[in-house]
Structure 1
């Protein structure tokens, strides 16, 4: 026994022992994730499907449209030839606007770069095997999920284990960090569905790994700067608040070696930026993502408020047709009509022949009616994203203070659903308490960066307007913060190192980890479901259905 303990105390044998544990954890996690992918199925009995929600259906629609029809428009996917809804493929996460052909079409509201890239493996599968998303949906979806979700996540687990070897100090802290990443976060839950949160967390791990020598203050080759920029920008492409990570990492690298940063980091960002804006321009004819087209466009002209009588009667007021034609892409036709949106408040000028729209909005003081360019792509017949149709959490939380509570310790709370993050918070504070730019550049810098990014991201979502304060909709966690999970894991080390010295604290840590695993595993069948706390509170009547 004493010889075994001595062997474990030597560096090489100790590392080998830890890697056996890491591999055990990673392979166990991989097996459970693969089993869930092979069983993925929506709860619908009438229309069984591997597409679990409107969120992932929106992305699958684009992938299918690109490969099967050569377009970003998803009309033919969402609707059957007779115009009725295709229930298995219909999604509320869609926008509608005029396309390059001069006709209105439905499009996914999701960012275009990731779905465009995912069209490549589907194209290969279709052309090699003949299987299509329409005819062999389950086979193609499950194969795609293994390729684009499972394999990259497993690779990220290996890389995070390597980071734990570099930055951890003992068996306990390293193994707990890897175990938490393998089982204790909702990242593994999201492996059964297409989403932007999982790839963002994965590319964050890749970016940190590429930049590791630079973060440690060491010299590094140009390719590491390039990969760091590529993966940091890819994280931004999937999570807008990750702009803070991109800028922060760029500042660190700039101080480390400004030449390699400009020659490697910046060009890599430019590649991703070109992909983001380029695919969006091709898909939507706009540099701005669909999320940025949620309100009326620029003011074009005004008409007398007395025209309200005609508008309420759905008549086109005299002179309005010519006034709108002056600002239209092509002259409006005779079949132009008025559609009411909000009584005595807002109307739509709609030309059936040219498929052009304009917004008519009564000023708050009632002095005039504004003619505005059409820019609200979420406003269309049957759209879910209207005040009248929103349900449950999608209505938004009116109180920002209440929203903050539920995002931290409430029914969607970071700490209530993943209490192991309390160890992350303590670890970050311990490293910050030992702040020393020269001696502890890595640990203090990593802790400071994690705290700043978490605060910035949380503040961003709390500051959003009412419709966006919805906890990410029906989802098992506060999914918008999930991309930060790798950083939260990496700042645990100092707290775990201290807890290891007392058996009672070890038990506490393991209890927190078990509770986090429970929350993560609660929704493994479908991450697009409420957290267990939310479900329990609804049963108690604390939350309205």
Structure 2
């Protein structure tokens, strides 16, 4: 009877996953974003596609040639000096994912003769099916393995798989190129391997290597997942020090080398683009005896002779017509020389004026990210209390949009109160990761409190979804024994599925709760 039940469960899993995947493939086939010109739905995914196309079609990370067609342009870009000494536009997204997908595009272009420039719909759809559906299948396979190992009831196991197939935003975002699905898939594999070691007591070397590789890959694609790498790594180090050091650490180092290596390859810097938001080092200064007179001319948008002489002493001969911008009169100026193709900041510090190299990559002529240009949610939420409310139970709320996670909280409490110390440890780790991640975003500066921009859910927490699915198990098994609880769980899943399905053809829209508040005039 047990074997028969298991075979029936597996058949149901296959059916649920097939329906979910089939629906996703159908939605990918219906894409007609960007006024029907390209199957790319937002600035976020266009930025990634631009890099993929530029790498294969033009042999460079610079996306100037691609975004010359404005339909390919994106606000998610930076502007800085490249290896050729000239300034170029680059995607602001970490390049590791783009490099990997460029290999996929290269095979499609040379194998099928289809290019993103000429056949964006065909190539885009082919790559989304291969990449995103492939990631989902990996996730589902790991989740099925976990529910079969640790689930106590047929109903509970099927409920968890149904939740994963229809009740989370991971399937919503499977029709667009994004890093969150990549990170979530890696997180699912990492926790699967970690539980095999921690709960099941297994010690195969490949499990440690895989856990290190997967958790590092999650972090490389979604920076807050660095906390998973740290906590899971510490747990495995305590459980099996030698195995973790000999096999787990090398797995993580491979990803770290790939991540930092592609960043340096793309930008000539070990730091990712988002870390370049301030001035570079000072290369010269105007002493106090000339700074005052120079400041007066700079305030009139003129380049003083003493400034030209100071640059010349550094081997930099400014052209006759550099552009001078007064950012803060008497305090800060920006010098941009289109002929020399470089930019500098002039900053008053005490009685002197420092000339600094330019390292603010998001600050360029047509940038969207400058104060006074940004709009809507990108302005940031002034109140941290309101931000926390909306993140958790408001218009972008984790629990209001997808209330199945209420059951994950219940499941976590049940595990904490159980006699199983190993599962208590796992629950503490997942709870800690969730709380740390939530607090991280609540206490971000104003400009970063923007709910992840225009999107259908609080996407910065999506990488945690596999961990929350693990926490569903005890609550689902408890509900399986009570009819009223099963109906309640089904209702929570229905609401979650509706939220996930609302943006079926474009996840880069506001959630339905936000839209309804707009309709009521509250926003």
Q: What TM-score comes out, normalization by structure 2 length?
A: 0.96
Match of 2:208 in 1: 225
Match of 1:244 in 2: 227
Q: Where do residues 488-507 of structure 1 align in structure 2 (5 Å cutoff)? A: 488-507=468-487
Q: Does 1:518 align with 2:491?
A: no
Which deviations, in whole Å up to 9, do the C-alpha atoms of 1:392-428 show, x marking residues without a partner?
Answer: 0000111111111111111111111111111011111
Q: What is the DSSP-based 3-state SS (H/G/I as helix, E as strand, rest coil) of the residue aligned with 1:187?
A: helix
Does residue 440 (structure 1) correspond to residue 424 (structure 2)? The answer is no
Measured after TM superposition, the shift of residue 229 of structure 1 is 0.9
Work out which of the residue numbers 157, 161, 164 in structure 1 matches 2:147. Answer: 164
2:370 pairs, out of 380, 386, 389, with: 386
CA distances 1:207-251 after superposition (whole Å, capped 9, x unpaired)? 122333212151321111111111111100111111110011111
Of the candidates 386, 390, 408, which is equivalent to residue 424 of structure 1? 408
Matched, 1:353 2:353: no
**Aligned equivalent of 1:410:** 394
CA contact (8 A) 2:301 2:326 kept: no
2:53 matched to 1:61? no
CA distance in 2, matches of 1:325, 1:261: 55
Q: Is the 2:294–2:306 contact (alpha carbons within 8 Å) kept by the matching residues of 1? A: no
Closer, same or farther in 2 for the Cα pair 1:124/1:310, shift >3 Å?
same
Q: Which runs of 5+ in 2 are unaligned?
A: none
2:38 to 22, 35, 49: 49
Number of equivalenced pairs: 518
- Deviation (angstroms), 1:487: 0.6
455 and 336 in structure 1: CA distance in 2 versus 1, 3 angstrom threshold: farther
Pair 1:274–1:247, CA change in 2 (3 A):
same
* Match in the other structure for 2:77: 94
> Aligned pair in 2 of structure 1 residues 522, 326: CA closer, same or farther (>3 Å)?
farther
Match of 1:200 in 2: 183
Check if 1:110 corresponds to 2:93. yes
More helix by share: 2
2:317 counterpart residue number:
332
Alignment gaps of 5+ in structure 1: 1-9, 80-85
Instruction: Report the 3-state secondary structure (helix = DSSP H, G, I; strand = E; otherwise coil) of the residue aligned with 1:52.
Output: coil
2:1 equivalent to 1:21: no
Q: Tell me: CA distance 1:335–1:458, structure 2 relative to 1, closer, same or farther (3 Å).
A: farther
CA contact (8 A) 2:332 2:347 kept: yes
2: CA distance between counterparts of 1:432 and 1:324? Answer: 65
2:295 to 297, 303, 308: 308
C-alpha change, 1:222 and 1:326, in structure 2 (3 Å) is farther
- Decide which of 258, 261, 276 is 2:244's aligned counterpart: 261
Decide whether the 8 Å contact of 2:34 with 2:71 is kept in 1.
Answer: no
Of residues 16, 20, 24, the one that matches 1:33 is 24
What is the distance in 2 between the residues matched to 1:15 and 1:322? 81
For residues 505-535 of structure 1, give each alpha carbon's deviation from its aligned partner in whole angstroms, at most 9, with x where no partner exists.
2111110100000111111110110001111
CA-based RMSD of the aligned residues comes to: 1.7
Cα distance change on mapping 1:24 and 1:217 into 2, 3 Å: closer
Q: Within the alignment, does 1:74 sit opposite 2:74 as a pair? A: no
Aligned with 1:319: secondary structure? helix
State the partner residue of 1:471.
451
Q: Report matched runs for 1:392-403 at 5 Å.
A: 392-403=376-387
Greater displacement, 309-318 / 170-179? 309-318
User: What is the alpha-carbon distance in structure 2 between the residues aligned to residue 528 and residue 487 of structure 1?
Assistant: 24
Q: Is the 8 A contact 1:187 1:198 kept in 2?
A: yes
Q: Is the 8 A contact 1:26 1:157 kept in 2?
A: yes
- Could you tell me which residue of structure 2 aligns to residue 234 of structure 1? 217
